[in-house]
Amino acid sequence: MRKIASLIVLFLFLISIVSVAIAVTERTADPAAAQNAVGVKEKARGEIKEKEKAKTLEVKPEIKERNVISVQQREEARARLDEKRKLLINRLEEKDPEKVKRIEALNRVSVEKVAGLDTQKIKKLTELKQDQFRRIANLDEAKLEKISSMDQEKITKIAALSRARQKELAGLDNKAEIEKALAKIKIIKVNKAEDLKLRVLAKDKIALAKNKFIAAKEKSENAQEKYLDAKQKYLAAKESGDEEATLEQAKEVLLKSAESIIGHLEKIKSKIQENENIGEEKAADLVARIDNQISEIEAIKEKIEAAQTKEEIRAAAKELNSKWREYKHKIRAFAERVVTARVQGVINRAEILEKKLDIALAKLEEKGIEADVDAEVEAFSALISDAKETFQKAQEKLEQARTEEDKDSVKSLVDEAKSLIKDSRESLKEAHGKLKEIIAKVREAGQELEIDETAEVEIEEEEDEESEIGEETEEVEEDTETPETEETEQEVD
């Protein structure tokens, strides 16, 4: 016994020595190998460095020369631009430091275009706020000439519009047409996208609607799952010729179909209830319509539950199918209405951002930082304008679908609306891409684009019947503030 124990101890001792020996070898071998590897790497690195050094020595003067030329060119361009601005200021005999600042915030192309106007017209433009002057000066010469020949009040109103809208108005045939179009436009002042919400909901109301959505989603998914299961069983029973099982499963299919429809309607209802971009009146109307549909489906559901005979089940199925066919595209229209409300929210945000971009860019220009992003800002404006246009068309289609009785017409209107919403979303996505390009270009120019969240901007008010813009917003037409005072309000922190 003792001998065996001694042998085991000896065996384990030997194993431990072997394992320790291996570990020690690895650990001692590692540094050597590593050192060796480091040595090789250092040697290679040294060689590369040598080669790079040699190359750099060859290329350096070339790069240096190119950089010097590039810096020189930039400085020369900057000096030429300053010279042009100075000439323009001298020509206007402008002493007002605020107006001088506005001219200094113009980029090279804009200075040239403005310089081409007669003094009187330029003076009218310098009355505009810095960012507005910068924006309107992006119009081409002919359009700028046309707009600047209008009276000051109208120029101020046009200057408050987006670049795309300015372009559209200035492109009209004559001054009379521009004035006619301008008369229909209302301008409001806002700070943020939230100011454009069609209604303001209490936080707890939104939270309640969100919870209702979660419950409705769960209910709908559960019903859908059970519907699919019952459908399989119904088809199997029908296939096997078991009438009793067929009727039993048919009843289950009908019940779960009704529950799926109700669950879906409840989901849409809660999404409408939490959305602040749907006016109070419109939301109440939609919710009432949905509630009415839910009640009708609930009534059919009761009939299904009570059905005992084949005839009763068939009658209940007929009634549910008829209601479903009647409601299905209306339900799609309700869902699309929720989606358009979200699109509206993004468009509002983008429209405000476009104006704030001009403020931020004017500030950069004033600091002497020239980020050549006007083409991108113009593209951003055009894309937002496209998104808005297609979105408004989609809204019209959905409104028509709401009152339309013919099922096929409702389907076709909802299909058209869906396609328009898709286009609108695509434009928004492209605009988002342009915005990223603008930010990147400004960064390349050595600055970060700083958007002042508190700055007040003017935007065009929607011609929406359900529009219920808050009292705090005011119309520019009634506004008597001087541009100078307004500008102080817009100062970036």
Partner 1 sequence: MFKKISIIITGMLVLFVLLGCAKPVETPPEQPAPAAAESPADGIGTGISDISSADEELDTSELDDLDATLGDIENI
- CB of 367 vs partner 1, minimal distance in Å: 18
- Closer to partner 1 at the Cβ: 74 or 310? 310
- CB of 487 vs partner 1, minimal distance in Å: 21
- Closer to partner 1 at the Cβ: 139 or 261? 261
Three-class SS of the chain: CHHHHHHHHHHHHHHHHHHHHHHHHHHHHHHHHHHHHHHHHHHHHHHHHHHHHHHHHHHHHHHHHHHHHHHHHHHHHHHHHHHHHHHHHHHHCCCCHHHHHHHHCCCHHHHHHHHCCCHHHHHHHHCCCHHHHHHHCCCCHHHHHHHHCCCHHHHHHHHCCCHHHHHHHHCCCCHHHHHHHHHCCCEEEECCHHHHCCCCCCHHHHHHHHHHHHHHHHHHHHHHHHHHHHHHHHHHHHHHCCHHHHHHHHHHHHHHHHHHHHHHHHHHHHHHHHCCCCCHHHHHHHHHHHHHHHHHHHHHHHHHHHCCCHHHHHHHHHHHHHHHHHHHHHHHHHHHHHHHHHHHHHHHHHHHHHHHHHHHHHHHHHCCCCCCCHHHHHHHHHHHHHHHHHHHHHHHHHHHHHHCCCHHHHHHHHHHHHHHHHHHHHHHHHHHHHHHHHHHHHHHCCCCCCCCCCCCEEEECCCCCCCCCCCCCCEHHHCCCCHHHHHHHCCCC
Residues found near partner 1 in the complex (CB under 8 A): 2, 5-6, 8-9, 12-13, 15-16, 19-20, 22-23, 193, 213, 217, 224, 231, 234, 238, 246-247, 250, 253-254, 257, 260-261, 264, 267-268, 271, 310, 313-314, 317-318, 320-321, 324-325, 328, 331-332, 335, 338-339, 342-343, 345-346, 349-350, 353, 356-357, 425, 428-429, 431-432, 435-436, 439, 449, 451
- Closer to partner 1 at the Cβ: 12 or 44? 12
- CB of 207 vs partner 1, minimal distance in Å: 17
Q: Residue 300 is encoded by which pair of tokens?
A: 């059919």
- CB of 453 vs partner 1, minimal distance in Å: 10
- Closer to partner 1 at the Cβ: 160 or 435? 435
- Closer to partner 1 at the Cβ: 322 or 467? 322
- CB of 300 vs partner 1, minimal distance in Å: 11
- Closer to partner 1 at the Cβ: 130 or 275? 275
- CB of 362 vs partner 1, minimal distance in Å: 15
Going by C-alpha positions, the residue among 114, 84, 88, 118 that lies closest to residue 100 is: 88
Which amino acid type is present at position 145? E
Going by C-alpha positions, the residue among 348, 358, 352, 353 that lies closest to residue 138 is: 358
- Closer to partner 1 at the Cβ: 157 or 163? 163
- Closer to partner 1 at the Cβ: 6 or 152? 6
Distance between CA atoms of 223 and 261, rounded to whole angstroms? 9
Distance between CA atoms of 281 and 272, rounded to whole angstroms? 12
- Closer to partner 1 at the Cβ: 25 or 467? 25
- CB of 74 vs partner 1, minimal distance in Å: 26
Residues 6+ positions from 376 with CB-CB distance below 8 Å = 434, 437, 438, 441
- CB of 314 vs partner 1, minimal distance in Å: 6
- CB of 464 vs partner 1, minimal distance in Å: 19
- CB of 66 vs partner 1, minimal distance in Å: 32
Distance between CA atoms of 183 and 193, rounded to whole angstroms? 25
Q: Residue 41 is encoded by which pair of tokens?
A: 């790497």
- Closer to partner 1 at the Cβ: 66 or 318? 318
- CB of 272 vs partner 1, minimal distance in Å: 10
Residues 6+ positions from 214 with CB-CB distance below 8 Å = none
- Closer to partner 1 at the Cβ: 88 or 216? 216
- CB of 249 vs partner 1, minimal distance in Å: 9
- CB of 236 vs partner 1, minimal distance in Å: 13
